[in-house]
Amino acid sequence: MDIIQQLHEKCLDSVVIYIFSLLDVDCLRTAETVCKLWYSIVKKRKLWTKLYQRHNIRTSTLKLLLDRRTCEGFNTAEDEFLHKRLLNANEKVQNNWATGTYLKKSINVGHCSPFVMDSKRVITMDSTLSVTMWNRWTLEEERLPLGSADGISELTHLQLAEDLVFCSYRDGTIVSWDIMEKAVRFRFKDENISGCDLKIHIAHGLLVSYVTVTGAVRGCDQTRFSVRSLQKPFSIVAEELTKRIPCARVKDVTSDNNYFVVFLFCSNNYVVSAEDVKIQLRSVDTFEILREVCGFVRSDHVFKYFNGWLVAGIRTIRVWDVEKSICQHVIPQLNSNTDTEEYETLVVDVQLDGERLIIRDNSGTFKVWLFCCNKWANFSNRMGILSNNYVTLSSEPITRRCEKFKFDELQIVTIERVQDELRGPFDLLIMRNFF
C-alpha cells in the first residue's frame, strides 16, 4: 500500500492534495497512470485546473491557446479536460521554440500593405483601398466594409484595439469599426490632419492622430498632432487638442502602461548621429511631455519598444532600459579582442515581448533569444535577462518591402512577396506555427 492510499484511507485528503499540488505537468501526467485511486484524486480534486491557474499567472501562452481553441470552434465551456489539454499544448509550444520547430502555413492575400494582429485575428490593408480580417487559426477571411468620408481616399494606417479596428485615410477621415457588433462606431474627418502618411495610435482612452508636413525650406518640417478623448463605448469623440512639434519628423508613436512613447527625428540637418533622434515619454492622461531622452537610436536603425525596454540597431543590436538610460545587453556579445562586434548581414527588423527577443536579418533568417523582463519587479530592481544562446530559424530570401514581422508565443507572422511568371507578383500571409 503506497503512502497516498494510506493517507486517503485515514481521511487525510488535504495532505494528499498538498502533495499533488507540488507536481509539475510531467509528474501530474505520470501520477494519473499509477493507479485508479490516483487518477480519481487528480480528476475529482480538479488538480489540472489548479495547476493551470498557477501557470496562467506566469505566462500569456495559456490564454493564447485558449483563444485559439475558441476561434477554432471548440466548446471550451463543456470540456472537462480543457486545462489538461492547454497545459500539454503549452509544454509542446515551449519545446518547439527551444528546438526551432514550427509548421508553416500560407495564404494568398493579393497585394498587402502593413498588417496588425491580436490573439484572434490578422487584419490587412489590401492595396491601400480595402481591409480584410483573417482568423489566425482557421485562415477564414472577412472583408470589412470600411471607407473614408468620400469613399475613394486611400488607407494610411490601421490599429487593432480589443475588438475595435481603427483606420485612417489620406483625406483625414478616421473610422472605428466594432468587430463583434459589425458596425461603425464613429467616422469623422479632420481637415487639419491629413496626408499620405497620416497615422493613428489609440491607448488609455485617447486617440492620437499625426502627420508630418514638409516645409518649403530644409529643416522646417513639422509634425501635427490631434489628441482626442474617446468616451466609451467609443461612440463619442470629444476634447480635441491640436499640437505641433516643429523641426521634427515623427517616426513612430507607441505606448505602455505608463507612457505614450514618441520617436522623432530632428529635421534641421541631415540625421547622422543618435543625438538627432529623440524619444519623448508623454503622459497617458494629457499627452504632455514628461521626459525626453536621446542617444539610443540612429536614423538608420530598426527599433522596437516594449514596456520600458528598447531594442535598436542595424548591425549591432542594443537592449536599453529607457527610464534608467542604461544599455543592458549588446548583440552580438562583445569579445575581448574588439570594442565592437557586428553582424555580417543587416538587421531588418526586431521584435520584443516579455518572453522573447527576435531579430531578422536581410537573408530572411530569424534569431530567437529568451528575454525575461520580470514584470512584477519594482522599477529599481527590474532586470532584463537575455539568454546566452539563441535559436536560428532559416527562411527564404525576402524583398525589401516584406521584412517586417509580428509574433507572440504561438506564431511568427509575416507577409512576403512571391514572383509568379503567369500571375505576376503577389503577397502571401505566412504563419509559422509553434503549437
How many percent of the chain have pLDDT more than 90? 57
Q: Taking 80 as the threshold, does the pLDDT of residue 267 lie above it?
A: no
> What is the grid cell recorded at 216?
518649403
Query: Residue 269: which pLDDT band, with cuts at 50, 70 and 90?
Result: low
Based on its alpha-carbon atoms, the radius of gyration of the chain, rounded to whole angstroms, reads 25
Give 25's contacts (C-beta < 8 A, 6+ positions apart): 51, 87, 88, 90, 91
Query: Residue 95: which pLDDT band, with cuts at 50, 70 and 90?
Result: very high
Q: Taking 80 as the threshold, does the pLDDT of residue 401 lie above it?
A: no
- Compute the average pLDDT of residues 255-275: 77
pTM above 0.85, yes or no: yes
- The amino acid sitting at 293 is V
334-342: Cβ within 8 A, 24+ apart? 340/316, 341/316, 342/315, 342/316
Query: Residue 325: which pLDDT band, with cuts at 50, 70 and 90?
Result: very high
- Compute the average pLDDT of residues 358-376: 87
Looking at every residue in the chain, the average pLDDT score rounds to 87
Say what the pLDDT of residue 147 is.
75
- Compute the average pLDDT of residues 88-110: 96
In this structure, the dihedral spanned by the alpha carbons of residues 428, 252, 121 and 409, taken in order and rounded to 10 degrees, is 90
| Per-residue pLDDT reduced to its tens digit, 186-237 | 888 877 777 778 999 999 999 999 998 876 666 567 888 889 888 765 555 6
- The least confident of 44-53, 98-107, 143-152 is 143-152
Query: Residue 249: which pLDDT band, with cuts at 50, 70 and 90?
Result: confident
Residue of higher predicted confidence among 246 and 325? 325
Give the C-alpha separation, 140 to 260, whole Å. 34
- Compute the average pLDDT of residues 95-103: 97
- The least confident of 10-19, 114-123, 260-269, 378-387 is 378-387
Residue of higher predicted confidence among 82 and 58? 82
Say what the pLDDT of residue 15 is.
92
Give the C-alpha separation, 200 to 209, whole Å. 4
Residue 387, classed as helix, strand or coil, is coil
| Per-residue pLDDT reduced to its tens digit, 121-135 | 999 988 767 899 999
- Compute the average pLDDT of residues 407-435: 91
By residue count, the chain amounts to 435
The structural domains of the chain, ordered by start, are: 1-45 (no CATH), 145-299 (2.40.128.630)
CB-based contact 90:410 (threshold 8 Å): no
- Compute the average pLDDT of residues 339-347: 71
- Compute the average pLDDT of residues 301-316: 94
- Compute the average pLDDT of residues 349-355: 93
- Compute the average pLDDT of residues 280-306: 93
Say what the pLDDT of residue 344 is.
72
H or E, element range at 14: helix 13-21
Q: Taking 90 as the threshold, does the pLDDT of residue 271 lie above it?
A: no
Output the DSSP codes for 129-177. Answer: TEEEEEETTT--EEEE----SSS-PPEEEEEEETTEEEEEETTSEEEEE
Say what the pLDDT of residue 128 is.
67
Say what the pLDDT of residue 243 is.
76
Where is mean pLDDT largest: 39-43, 124-128, 298-302?
A: 39-43
Say what the pLDDT of residue 209 is.
92
Q: Taking 70 as the threshold, does the pLDDT of residue 22 lie above it?
A: yes
How many percent of the chain have pLDDT more than 70? 88
Say what the pLDDT of residue 3 is.
86
Residue of higher predicted confidence among 345 and 258? 258
- The least confident of 70-84, 173-187, 276-290, 330-344 is 330-344
Q: Taking 90 as the threshold, does the pLDDT of residue 260 lie above it?
A: yes
